[in-house]
Amino acid sequence: MTTAAPDTSALPPTVRSLWNRSRGPLLALLLLVISGVAIAALQSGEQHGRLDPRSYDRTGSRAIAQLLASHDVSTQVVTTSEEAAAAAGPHTTLLVTNPEMLTQDQLTGLHTATAHTPGRTVLLAPDSSALETFAPGVGTDSPADISARRPACSLPEARRAGNALLGGLSYTTSASGTDRCYLSGDRPTLLRLPAPRTGRDTVLLGSPDFLYNHHLAEHGNASLALQLLGTHKHLVWYLPSMSDPSSAQDDQRGFLDLVPSGWYWALLQLTFAAALAALWRARRLGPLVPEKLPVTVPAAETTEGHARLYEQANARDRASSVLRSATRTRLAPLIGVSPAHAHTPDVLLPALHAHLTTAPGVDADLHVLLFGPAPADDKALVHLADQLDELESSIVSQERHAPREHPDR
């Protein structure tokens, strides 16, 4: 007798098995999260609050803001070009920390709002677009090392401050009346452009390092910053931000605009290919291929399994059909009917009546018994099974007790 091996594939997974399966991906995900947090912390550590007058970081500018406040100069921090244009009224100083982040529309709007009001505009390391808007005729030269430099000019603020930490961009201009200070070679890294008609001068700085908290106490940095930014009693400190709604370019192309037109046709072909592949894999590829079971399953277990499936699905019609078909198949050879006609009522039923003439206990309505409708409930199904078993037993009993004819010797 062959003993069937227990089927462990249908057992529910345990907590240990689930952990063994998922610990690899979970550990990889954890390492990814930790790496992302570490990289974000490293990148945002010292650069956080750069040139922000509210920041105490090394590259923040809280120290100069407090120094200005001690001299009765108020500082207003703005992050949008609209706020900067509205706040930069008469007799104010406007400081733009990152002019290269501004679009041409922002630069034009800011210049239009301040061009005819007295005051001062200070630009830190402006690019060519900012120079064309605020300082036409001024160009940039090769960058210079950032170091302590002498004023070497007649600008009162620079002469009183003395040496200061400057460098970075150096400027070229042919305009007269400009103050060229803190030279790199013969190029100034601090350039002041006067505007006698409007009363608003423009100061260009090649580097913002002397405004940082950790450099303010060195050389004459504090004095120069205080005099450049404290000329008027109100300072507008503009920190350009990428979240500024006005920073969006009107002609900025989206991602789909950057995709070549030929790729759309390729994508369409790939879509059709994927749809055809899905249809091909979804259709049936013929009859099922029988395979040998890895273990020996007793016929009784298979029968019991089918019965339970029929019971769960309430498939009494299918169960009764299987019972009747199996009974007809087994009865046909016993009563002399070929297997091809085992399920034909006109052939099977007359042969059965001929064999059952000596069996008065069997129900006479064989047609309902072997080809009738499905039972209405489980009790009727059990009764049908008993009747089929009784019919088959009577036929088998008759065959055993029937006299056999012996051939003549």
State the average pLDDT over residues 143-151: 89
Whole-number pLDDT of residue 286: 66
- Residue 162's pLDDT band (cuts 50, 70, 90): very high
- Rounded Cα gap, residues 76 and 239, in angstroms: 11
- Residue 7's pLDDT band (cuts 50, 70, 90): very low
- Rounded Cα gap, residues 171 and 202, in angstroms: 13
- Residue 174's pLDDT band (cuts 50, 70, 90): confident
- Rounded Cα gap, residues 61 and 208, in angstroms: 10
State the average pLDDT over residues 283-300: 74
- Comparing 94-98, 117-121, 398-402, the range with the smallest average pLDDT is 398-402
Whole-number pLDDT of residue 409: 41
359-382 pLDDT tens trace = 444 444 888 888 889 888 989 889
Beta partners for residue 238, in sequence order: 78, 96
Average pLDDT of every residue of the chain: 82
pLDDT of 315 over the 90 cut? no
pLDDT of 408 over the 60 cut? no
Whole-number pLDDT of residue 235: 93
pLDDT of 44 over the 60 cut? no
243-258 pLDDT tens trace = 776 665 545 556 666 7
198-248 pLDDT tens trace = 788 899 999 999 999 999 999 999 999 999 999 999 999 999 887 776 665
pLDDT of 277 over the 60 cut? yes
State the average pLDDT over residues 140-160: 89
Q: Could you tell me the residue ranges of all domains in the chain?
A: 62-242, 306-401
- Rounded Cα gap, residues 194 and 203, in angstroms: 9
In this structure, are strands 74-78 and 164-172 parallel, antiparallel, or unpaired?
unpaired
**Would you state the CATH architecture of domain 62-242?**
3-Layer(aba) Sandwich (3.40)
Whole-number pLDDT of residue 247: 62
Whole-number pLDDT of residue 366: 84
- Residue 405's pLDDT band (cuts 50, 70, 90): low
Whole-number pLDDT of residue 115: 84
In this structure, are strands 187-193 and 179-184 parallel, antiparallel, or unpaired?
antiparallel
- Comparing 40-49, 241-250, 258-267, the range with the smallest average pLDDT is 40-49
State the average pLDDT over residues 161-182: 89
Which of residues 406 and 409 earns the better pLDDT score? 406
Q: What is the pTM of this model?
A: 0.52
Whole-number pLDDT of residue 204: 92
190-200 pLDDT tens trace = 999 988 777 88
